[in-house]
Structure 1
Amino acid sequence: MSLPETTSRNRATAAAARLAASVPAVVGVLGGGRMGAGIAHAFLLAGARVHVVERDADAAAAARDRVETALARSAERGLQIPDAGTLTTGVDAEAFAEAGLVIEAVPEDRDLKLDALARIEGAVRNGAVVASNTSSLSIDALAASLVRPDRFLGLHFFNPVPASALVEVVVGDRTAPRVVDVANRWVEAIGKTAVVVRDAPGFASSRLGVALGLEAIRMLEESVASAHDIDTAMELGYRHPMGPLRTTDIVGLDVRLGIAEELERAFGARFTPPALLRELVAQGHLGRKTGRGFYEWSER
């Protein structure tokens, strides 16, 4: 190994050690799908012990596989640190008893999230912070079911989590200021940037991102241009790193549809989902995770 490589790795290890001191020693994630696995991966790289809880043994095993695959890819890119944390997976929320932070990452369904948050609150200690990874549901509405809404907020991660640099910190009316402060530090400690927004429909990112995505789908419906050309116009003309239709494929057409429906209820017809989006979701073409959306995906 050359001296520059050694120095670079030593610096990376030292930086990682500083970050590890800033995250909770134990982090819980309820839901080990694509988002939950990505969140677990981020905190593992920062040195936390991470417990991922799923609905049954098969789902827990699948969650472990997702996280371990992400860790292996990090190692291939030279990103994994020597002092990475430890991962456990299971089905019992009691694993969250020692956690300083627990994040629910179940699908974007109000009832599922309410049930998840009730399970978390029944298991965590008094000093723990509880967070939702919701991309559109009201933090205040979710908090209304909690015994301790003061320790609750939104931590909206972006898909794919390992490649994303942003986390939206969503502050409810009853979220304690200290919880916001510590959440911002944790986001920084896992190498991402926090933007703080108040609880409002779609927050900042989903509201703007969905508005752009829906208009792109309408343009595709109207044969204004191909999906590729619509995306290229935004990538080259406005320097977006990825066009709105490809982004929708990665996020998931079903996820985008759910957010659009939520925003339609809040803001009216300007967020009405296009017929093409509904048709593709009904056909099971949900984007990269199913192999087809607005694009064909050879790798899922």
Structure 2
Amino acid sequence: MDWPIAVGLVSYQGYDFDQVFKNLHGIGAEYVEIDYIKTPLGVVNEYGLTHLNEEDLQKSMYFLQLLNQYHLKALTFSGHVKLINEEEVELFLKKMEFAKKIGAKYITTGESPMESKNEFFKHIRRVEKKARELDLVVCLETEMSNTLITRGTEGIPIINEIASPYIKMTYDTGNIYYAQKGKIDIAADLQNAIDYIETIHFKDPYFIDGVLRFGEIGKGEINFFELAEIIKTKGRIIPVTIEIPYFFQSNQWGPFEVSKKIFPIDEINRLLIHSICFIQDLLKD
């Protein structure tokens, strides 16, 4: 199978689109996951922790041309909001339209805090209707803390209640590991939830002196060999996105802080090249 492996733009924090796309083309990447998110940290530094803003949503043709120029495809789109009020939902609907126009088949979002579950279920119906109109799959991501879905099995009853082929899950290995403070069998969790998952984020945490960070895929705490076997045995393509938010750090499982240190782009390229090769080998038939 020709397994789609996307690079999340979160890995290129601090660099503009043209520079990022040029470098992605240079390292041989084929797929990219563009982001327009609000981070779970509620922190925005001078780089914004995202690459798009609301004004950019009116420029889909420009971004499509830029993708074509560098022979890239936007299979997935990271459009995180909390689906708990009209303002957030309206913005997400705009993100959905943009994602569809640039060729994406999937858009990822957050859900809601636990205490806002009723609001989430109220608004998800409108999102589902839009997804059906656009033929775009909305993937609820396993998030880091105090949300409806912090592991795969928590998403199963939610997806079942919505009961739509247009609302599924994005499984994020790093988010789950952090949310459960490392005390989870991720392989078992993925196995139980795999039928509800449409996209997967490979994010690999590691520790230095009690501080959790994210780095090159395959070098940290996650056993991706086990996960790859589970994914391959399903007999269907599940797109994988590489995320290396090296600027996030958590001391003793505390809240994430954001370092303003930006890696040289050659170093980011190196991490991504190694990660892509590692995943390609994992997912070979």
TM-score, length basis structure 2: 0.35
Q: Which has the higher strand share?
A: 2
Q: Which has the higher helix share?
A: 1
Which structure would you say has the larger Rg?
1
TM-score, length basis structure 1: 0.33
Higher relative contact order (CA 8 A, sep 6+): 2
